[in-house]
Structure 1
């Protein structure tokens, strides 16, 4: 006879209720572990660049370039060498200099600077200053001519470039 005892029916019911508890505890543990890992990853993403990046960005940043120093010259008008009718060049320029001392020296010797420019520019044919390449070549010649010392005991001037702001050939 197969009569079931109350103990026999209780045992499967207890084992059935214990199994979901174990799997739910395991599931809760896994969810908490994944949450902690995600929180740790998010914290590392947010805070680690601030600590690591502070040192690396200071070394990676290039020093700020110094503010350029320019000396703008009054426009010059020069007769050009031409056959027949008279031609002239009206030119205005700015010199980019190395430091304030060079700028002060150029201002002090301005009559000689203008004289050097007039002599250099008056020997030109009108056709030799029209093309952009010719203007770039002329700017370099002016830079070299003005960089030579203005007085016997002075060093070479630090003129890094010549920029034209007026350039008219007629």
Structure 2
């Protein structure tokens, strides 16, 4: 008789476990379906119109083609432009290149580029480079200057970013 009572308890546990497993599987399936639906909606056809999102996709695809290419410029130590005080800037600059061809062009133009960057840095005052957004503005100016020397057209050619690995103002 004890065996007859034990069997229904075992069956109840088994049924509860099966229901729990089915519920978890349904939740996982629903989550996967929702993920796939939202993912396909994000990558849907835009009707052929060129959009900002399409540009991002192209850039992401381009980035996936090759790892980032960096080129280190020679260390710069310059006197800053200040009639009131003696101030000096020492910085190391590493630029991110759009492709290997741009990297070869920057190597070929390196003396000219370093001279122009040196002149640009010397034209800055200590207040210019110590300002909160001073490095950001200076990086944008250096990028523009180098891209002009390389003959790069557009934001996706030549130098993509200017990175200051050291930046000391004294």
TM-score band by shorter chain is: 0.5 to 0.7
Which aligned pairs between 1:18-167 and structure 2 lie closer than 5 A?
A: 39=18, 42=21, 46=25, 53=32, 60=39, 66=64, 67-83=67-83, 86-150=86-150, 157-167=157-167
Count how many residue pairs are aligned between Structure 1 and Structure 2. 140
Mark the structure with the bigger radius of gyration: 1
Counterparts of 1:127 and 1:69 in 2: how far apart (Å)? 32
Structure 1 length normalisation: TM-score? 0.60
Unaligned 5+ residue runs, structure 2?
1-7, 43-59
| Cα 1:149/1:84, change in 2 over 3 Å | closer
Counterparts of 1:77 and 1:100 in 2: how far apart (Å)? 28
For residue 53 of structure 1, report the CA deviation from its aligned partner.
Answer: 4.7
Contact 1:149 1:155 in 2 (8 A): no
Q: Secondary structure of 1:71's match?
A: strand
For residue 41 of structure 1, report the CA deviation from its aligned partner.
Answer: 8.0
Contact 1:73 1:93 in 2 (8 A): yes
RMSD: 4.0
